[in-house]
Amino acid sequence: MNPDDMIGKLSRPLSLRSRIGAVVALLGGLVGAVGVGLLWATEPALPGRTHLAFGLLVALCLAWTGYGSWALTRRTPLFALDQVIAGWLSVVATGLLTAAAVAVAAVRGTWVGVTGVAVAVTMTAVALVVLVRARARHAALLRRRRELEGRAGRP
């Protein structure tokens, strides 16, 4: 096997699309589970079949969360640029979740709604920390690259 064959075999774990796909699966699942769970918990009276449907939706979202976590920890971790993209996606997703939670809390006015807002705000704060750290790491690597390129270009 020559190097180009090997690079071809590594194309999947190296694909930006598959890594961002795993991030979207994790975020979508997590935000979806919290969002649907919040709706489920704040509905005053539901028939049995609707409870079942909500339960299935939450389980489906958690399954996507599990898949995304597994893919990112075991199959293909994120490089610096991916981490920045993932950070922005997290901020957007959790921001939307927070807005939805605030709307639900305002309409329902129950302690469950307020708890949902607290959870969503915490998730947004975590997402912001993730984004700040990812940007700092990306910037540090860019600085290091410039240093090394400068050193290589020096006679």
Partner 1 sequence: MSDELLVVRCQLGEREAFAELVRAWHGPVWTYVRRMLGPVEADDVSQEVWLAVVRGLPRLKEPGRFAPWLFTIARRAVANRLREEYARPEVAAGDGPVSPDATVALVDRAELVEGLSGLPAREREILVLFYLEDLSVEDCAEICAVPVGTVKSRLSRARRMLRDHLTEKGYRR
Whichever of 51 and 145 has its CB closer to partner 1, that residue is 145
Both tokens of 85, joined, read 């993209």
Whichever of 10 and 99 has its CB closer to partner 1, that residue is 10
Instruction: Give start and end residues of each alpha helix (H) in the chain.
Output: 3-9, 11-14, 16-42, 48-70, 80-108, 111-153
Q: How many CA atoms lie within 13 A of 19 on its CB side?
A: 17
Q: Which residue has the tokens 């290091």?
A: 144
Report the nearest approach of partner 1 to the CB of residue 152 (Å).
7
Report the nearest approach of partner 1 to the CB of residue 49 (Å).
44
> Applying CB under 8 A, which residues contact partner 1?
1-4, 6-7, 9-10, 13-14, 16, 74-82, 138, 141-142, 144-145, 148-149, 152
Report the nearest approach of partner 1 to the CB of residue 12 (Å).
10
Whichever of 38 and 72 has its CB closer to partner 1, that residue is 72
- For residues 20 and 82, the answer to whether their CB atoms sit within 8 Å is yes
Whichever of 51 and 144 has its CB closer to partner 1, that residue is 144
Task: Give CA–CA dist 100/94, Å, rounded.
Answer: 10
Whichever of 39 and 138 has its CB closer to partner 1, that residue is 138
Report the nearest approach of partner 1 to the CB of residue 15 (Å).
8
Instruction: Phi first, then psi: give them for residue 136, nearest 5 degrees.
Output: -65, -45
Report the nearest approach of partner 1 to the CB of residue 28 (Å).
22
Task: Give CA–CA dist 97/62, Å, rounded.
Answer: 16
* Distance from chain centroid for Cα 41: 23
